[in-house]
């Protein structure tokens, strides 16, 4: 099997690393090495990784996941780079599956997977957020236009050829998405493997979800789409999702006018349209967690869609003002 290097960026992840590294241990062999890049943590991340037998690379100051992953790549030698976030636990055999996928398909530069449908944090927002990610990835095209570094593998030669993760650009918080765009623009092929799964251990609150959706996803991704001149209608950019965002924007505009009957009708129709467009997702939530859970998630999904619309509007206004 081709040599592989597993790179785990970690920031204040001492409590998460035991599950992450324990799941990776079976993949280690004479052809696979594992490094944990401690990105300037203020807790015992480095000591925890060292105690678990990982090779630890310490960065004195936190530079973000892009810089941490690049740091790890520069200090490993594997022909295949396997990126795993510190808050995920890969499924048994998943690393070997990723490496075999690239071994068996010379035309591919990278492969990535998704969270499974069993997030460990029991909170409503955590369950919703992770199940949304799982649902979107499980129903997206195998021929991908982007990359996901939560759990994904790339050929070193392709990674180096496009300059690795962008540490300085305005899209650094979606550094894996931006890297995927550059890889595809350079002619490399990426694949989404729906059976390449990992369990997510990160807890979410409503405030952290909104902050991430607006600041770390919607605005930088919209900037990227506007800069690159569009994107395939896949993942979070399908026609149904774009229409849902528009309907949620219309719903938000009608809320201050609910004293008027036409506005109530328009709000009702907008809400019905959102539910209709996303019925399969809500049915998935009902099937996996029950009717009550699915109903409770609808307001969270509407908030998620509103954040997406707000982020795109913000990025569009930025572009217009800079023109």
- Chosen CATH of 4-123+136-203 out of 3.30.450.40, 2.60.120.260, 3.90.550.10, 3.40.50.720: 3.90.550.10
SS3 state at 77: coil
Specify whether the CB–CB gap between 305 and 249 falls below 8 A: no
Buried b or exposed e, range 53-80, using 16+ CB within 10 angstroms = ebebbebeeebbbbbbbbbbbeebebeb
CA gap 173, 11 in Å, rounded: 14
DSSP category for residue 18: H
Q: What is the pLDDT of residues 165-182, one digit of tens each?
A: 998 765 567 899 999 989
Q: Can you give the residue ranges of every domain in the chain?
A: 4-123+136-203, 235-322
Res 217: pLDDT: 86
Burial grade of 180 (CB within 10 A; 0-12, 13-18, 19 or more): buried
* 285: its two tokens: 């939530």
SS3 state at 80: strand
Q: What is the pLDDT of residues 213-266, one digit of tens each?
A: 998 888 888 888 777 766 665 566 678 888 999 999 999 999 888 888 888 899
Written as tens digits, the pLDDT of the chain (323 aa) is 689 999 999 999 999 999 999 999 998 887 889 999 999 999 999 999 999 888 999 999 988 999 999 999 999 999 999 999 999 999 999 999 999 999 989 999 999 999 999 999 999 999 999 999 999 999 988 898 889 999 999 999 999 999 999 987 655 678 999 999 899 999 999 999 999 999 999 999 999 999 999 988 888 888 887 777 666 655 666 788 889 999 999 999 998 888 888 888 999 999 999 999 999 999 999 999 999 999 999 999 999 999 999 988 888 888 777 65
DSSP category for residue 29: B
CA 157 from centroid of its chain's CA atoms? 23
């Amino acid at each position: 099997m081709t040599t592989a290097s597993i790179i785990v960026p970690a920031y204040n992840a001492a409590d998460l690393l035991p599950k992450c590294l324990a799941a990776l241990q079976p993949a280690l062999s004479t052809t696979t090495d594992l490094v944990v890049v401690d990105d300037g943590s203020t807790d015992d991340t480095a000591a925890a990784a060292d105690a678990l037998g990982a090779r630890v690379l310490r960065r004195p100051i936190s530079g973000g996941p892009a810089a941490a992953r690049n740091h790890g790549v520069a200090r490993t030698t594997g022909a295949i780079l396997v990126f795993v976030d510190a808050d995920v636990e890969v499924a048994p055999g998943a690393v070997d599956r990723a490496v075999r996928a690239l071994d068996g398909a010379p035309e591919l530069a990278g492969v990535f997977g998704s969270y499974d449908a069993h997030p460990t944090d029991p909170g409503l927002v955590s369950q919703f957020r992770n199940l949304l990610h799982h649902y979107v990835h499980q129903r997206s095209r195998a021929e991908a236009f982007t990359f996901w570094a939560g759990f994904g593998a790339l050929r070193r030669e392709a990674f180096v050829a496009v300059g690795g993760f962008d540490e300085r650009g305005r899209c650094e918080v979606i550094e894996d998405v931006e890297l995927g765009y550059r890889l595809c623009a350079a002619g490399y092929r990426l694949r989404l493997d729906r059976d390449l799964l990992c369990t997510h251990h990160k807890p979410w609150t409503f405030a952290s979800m909104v902050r991430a959706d607006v600041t770390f996803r919607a605005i930088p991704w919209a900037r990227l789409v506007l800069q690159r001149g569009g994107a395939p209608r896949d993942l979070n950019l399908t026609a149904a999702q774009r229409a849902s965002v528009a309907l949620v924007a219309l719903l938000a505009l009608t809320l201050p006018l609910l004293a008027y009957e036409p506005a109530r009708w328009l709000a009702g129709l907008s809400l019905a349209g959102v539910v209709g467009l996303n019925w399969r997702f809500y049915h998935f939530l009902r099937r996996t967690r029950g009717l009550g859970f699915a109903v409770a998630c609808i307001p969270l999904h509407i908030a998620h869609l509103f954040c997406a619309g707000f982020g795109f509007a913000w990025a569009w206004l930025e572009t217009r003002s800079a023109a």
